[in-house]
Structure 1
């Protein structure tokens, strides 16, 4: 890898309203500027102070130093991270995609797939939490791959993750415009696409605080809507709706249910279920921009368990009892067609007027939330790539308010693809765009777990243990192995489905639409190997750096604090110990 050329300046840090300014001594300080001059100055590039990087250190060590000293704003508060963890990734994968999955896998297949993916997600977020609390670096898990596994794999995974989010924005903008057709089918979709585009641009130019506040509101709306649906669903199943009549498990006993397409149908649901959890890892990406990751991130990681249990498992159990898998509106529905949402169908079947519109509004909010998250995810990943000379330097432009401006601008340019919605080839174009990132999250999650496995191995080889860590994964190393193993299994099963699709004969087009992500990742990986001429396939445990990038370097003090915290929790009543474990 070519060495990163860094221009350092003498600098001083001025904190104002939780934004980080790193300014040249030759320029006026932020406090001296007012009005438009202060606004304009906020867009100037921030400069990191001279890190004195040794040119002879390894690529992985350079990455650790550069990303640990990123000038991203650290203004996310605990409530932001909590709500991002609880409701941040709830979007079309749950509200709309679950309908297609119900039709394919049946009510039992739907539950099995989402539960298994849920256990994997829980283990993955816990693994990410341990790494992110210890090393709250810019770019988070996309840099852990280069640090603990292999620089080439890190390069491939970082671009894989950036591409995933770059593609998501135009898809979600089109999906949001389609939800409006529920009320207004006459107005051209481009009008609503433009309105939503401007909204997301505005939010992200307020920086990480804008993202955090927007996600807090979006997630709160989604959480309240799901809680309301759970209560309503129970009432409808028990026969308390306007239509009346006890439903119970009636739709589990119709023809071919609960597994209409057998084992292959259940396997087909796995990728759809994984799509519903995309974005769960964003709480780890946000760690570098939180005020106190040691306190806020562990709580956010624990909240994921409740989201999986309450929002996914309970909701989908109710959906399987309220909507038959062979409902006509579920047949051939796309992943962005809000009218095919099983949530909307369930309410309409219950004979409740007005509420379907409310649920459709929630779906629109969920779609915008994912679109907003895509800008956050891609811009931070691109900034981390640029910091390590794995992307054009301009993408590493971070302004004085901690905004990765170049990454945000690139995302918004690619977001203009949303206007392809007016093209007669719209569906084909977006199918191929989605194919580029279809399996991206599975590779991302598997790599997070493998990074923890390698980190723990490095600690053991160096004669150290987890006592020096402020937070450790609750399922531990076994959870990391489960998360990694399940991701590999799902990718292999997806290869089977891609070659021999459900109800279709093998076709090259179908294969690439389901498996295009894999050759793209291999191209990045092998291309980096050839360019750097580094043919080592992994970093040996004894060579892994387990110290650079930590915010808390006094390990003896950390050990003492961790021991005191454990002793305090052990002294609490049983119910309080249970609360601390899960919350």
Structure 2
């Protein structure tokens, strides 16, 4: 365990608790909430949508408890890839690391492409690729300056999103309960949408399908673990960041969904582009669409910023465990793994091209693997915590000596593992998500074979030479 910590001292510990908290929040609050929440309400109904977010939040909470124990005991950049390698299987760690890296690299491309498309609202005659290039270069430079510069930028990106959600909850709540007048003299709906709608309008199937989508929308909180290797005083900052992230994310999401479901009939929620825009427009907020366009643009750039950081640190971690070229583990004087950053940015730009030339085929395949990578990451976190605690106790360690403990071991970690595996298996029952398994499983099998055919022998040889 000591050697792993020593391997990562080249990164500079410059990020505070507020940076970690906002980085995690920045990875979560994105288009899944601002655009995808309408689908959830339309499929599950008002009560079912709230239930979906509560269950998704519970799975997130259990997973973050597991990550907290691991990242405080071993605050390394790359986190769960290192934990999976150390406590479960190097081959599985190799597979998880590369799948997660590739997923975030592709996600960066998606966020850049989506940002370019949003700019068409204000500059309809400008080419999308121009905005992709401008935003892409900006994110690259922010990540290249220093870990602190990245953290500070993400803090402000996330602050805009959080402020927008708080303002939406206040204004939406006032419209819902008649404290401000609705547009065109409409009566305040109060609880009518909840009372007059069937509990589950599309049955249990509709609820289960939305739970898959909702669980994916919570993914990004694991970025706390990725950034652990560059956080100041990880024993204090990581637990504080995890607690803040979990309860604030749940409050923001559940309250926002409650307001949306109360103001928009579920039959209409699933067919509008952004339910947030529809609500603000119904309340009569001037320039509602432009305001939300700006907030969504900020959300996209925030996720892209976090994704570029996460993928770069994962590539760095793979290099430090002899699972990628040693050149990718080199850092500059500012503590930035520039080679890993440039490779990640290059892949993001390549996959961006597929969005223009084969958006109905190649790009959808890449995106499905991206979604799967985050879910596999959560599974590896809960499995690694179970394996870590078992090994820790076997080696004579005392639970009371752990600075952060997952409560009710092994019940809660086992519940996290089972629930995350259930979400993964559930993908097979959603036609729109099934492609993730069709593409992701062969990708993982190839990674597993590459490890045994090429990487394993090299790692054994290096360890013998080191001895």
Structure 1 residues 68 and 120: CA distance shift in structure 2, 3 A: farther
Q: Which residue of 1 aligns with 2:63?
A: 124
Task: Report the Cα distance in structure 1 between the residues aligned to 2:361 and 2:195, rounded to whole angstroms.
Answer: 37
Instruction: Check if 1:241 corresponds to 2:181.
Output: yes
Residue of structure 1 equivalent to 2:368 = 435
Flag the 1:285–1:532 CA change in 2: closer, same or farther, 3 A.
closer
Partner residue, 1:528: 451
Report the 3-state secondary structure (helix = DSSP H, G, I; strand = E; otherwise coil) of the residue aligned with 2:322.
coil
Task: Tell me the equivalent position of 1:162.
Answer: 101
Relative to structure 1, the CA distance from residue 421 to residue 512 in structure 2 (aligned partners, 3 Å threshold; closer, same or farther) is closer
Q: CA offsets, 1:360-389, max 9 Å, x none?
A: 211111110000011110111001111222
- In structure 2, distance between residues paired with 1:313 and 1:67: 41
**TM-score normalised per structure 1:** 0.73
Task: Provide Cα deviations, 1:462-521, integer angstroms capped at 9, x if missing partner.
Answer: 3332111122235653321121110011112222334xx7xxxxxxxx743554223322
Q: Distance in 2 between matches of 1:456 and 1:173?
A: 40
Question: Within 1, Cα distance between the matches of 2:125 and 2:58?
Answer: 44
Query: Relative to 1, partners in 2 of residues 1:496 and 1:139: Cα closer, same or farther, differing over 3 Å?
Result: same
CA–CA distance in structure 2, aligned partners of residues 87 and 265 of structure 1: 28
RCO higher in 1 or 2 (8 Å CA, sep ≥ 6)? 2
- Please give the alpha-carbon distance, in whole angstroms, between the structure 2 residues aligned to 1:409 and 1:480: 36
Does the Cα contact within 8 Å between 1:230 and 1:318 map onto a contact in 2? yes
Are the counterparts in 1 of residues 25 and 220 from structure 2 also a CA contact under 8 Å?
A: no
**Alignment gaps of 5+ in structure 1:** 1-60, 334-339, 502-509, 535-583
Q: 1:394 maps to which residue?
A: 327
Residue matched to 2:411: 478
1:338-417 matched pairs, under 5 angstroms: 340-417=273-350
Task: Name the structure 2 match of 1:199.
Answer: 138
Residue aligning to 1:490: 423
Greater gyration radius: 1
How many residue pairs match? The answer is: 454
Q: CA deviation at 1:241?
A: 3.2
Any conservation in 1 of the 2:26–2:302 contact (CA below 8 Å)?
no
* Root-mean-square deviation (Å): 2.4
What is the CA–CA distance in structure 1 between the aligned matches of 2:455 and 2:354, rounded to whole Å?
40
Shift of 1:460: 2.5
More deviation in 156-165 or 301-310?
301-310
Task: List aligned pairs for 1:91-106, cutoff 5 A.
Answer: 91-106=30-45
Residue 250 (1) aligns with residue 192 (2)? yes
- The alpha-carbon deviation at position 404 of structure 1 amounts to 0.8
Query: 1:176–1:67: structure 2 CA closer, same or farther, 3 Å change rule?
Result: farther
- Cα deviation for residue 296 of structure 1 reads 1.0
Alignment partner of 1:447 is 2:380: yes
* SS of 2:267 mapped into structure 1: coil
CA distance in 2, matches of 1:518, 1:424: 25
Work out the CA distance in 2 between the residues paired with 1:529 and 1:349.
Answer: 59
Report the Cα distance in structure 1 between the residues aligned to 2:320 and 2:216, rounded to whole angstroms. 29
Alpha-carbon distance, 1:232 to partner: 1.0
- Alpha-carbon distance between aligned partners in 2 of 1:139 and 1:303, rounded to the nearest angstrom: 21
Q: Paired residue for 1:264, among 205, 219, 232?
A: 205
Q: Normalising by the residue count of structure 2, what TM-score does the alignment of the two structures yield?
A: 0.90
- 3-state SS, counterpart of residue 444 of structure 1: helix
Cα distance in 2 for partners of 1:167, 1:419 equals 8
The superposition leaves residues 280-309 of structure 1 with CA deviations (integer Å, 9 ceiling, x where unpaired) of 111111111012111111100111232232
Structure 2 gaps, min length 5: 458-467
CA–CA distance in 1 between the matches of 2:445 and 2:53?
28
Deviations 1:218-261 (A, max 9, x none): 11111111111111111111132342412123334667x54333
Alignment partners' CA distance in 2, 1:308 and 1:92: 15
- In 1, the alpha carbon distance for the partners of 2:6 and 2:78 equals 7
**In 1, are the aligned partners of 2:91 and 2:451 still within 8 Å (CA)?**
yes
Whether the aligned pair in 2 keeps the contact of 1:67 and 1:139 (CA below 8 Å) is: no
CA apart distance, 1:532: 6.2
d(CA) in 2 for partners of 1:391 and 1:99?
Answer: 41
Tell me by how many angstroms 1:121 deviates: 0.8
- Distance (whole Å) between structure 1 residues aligned to residue 408 and residue 131 of structure 2: 45
Q: Is the 8 A contact 1:66 1:388 kept in 2?
A: no
Alignment CA distance shift 1:343-1:515 (3 Å) = farther
Task: Give the Cα–Cα distance (whole angstroms) in 1 for the partners of residues 355 and 84 of structure 2.
Answer: 39
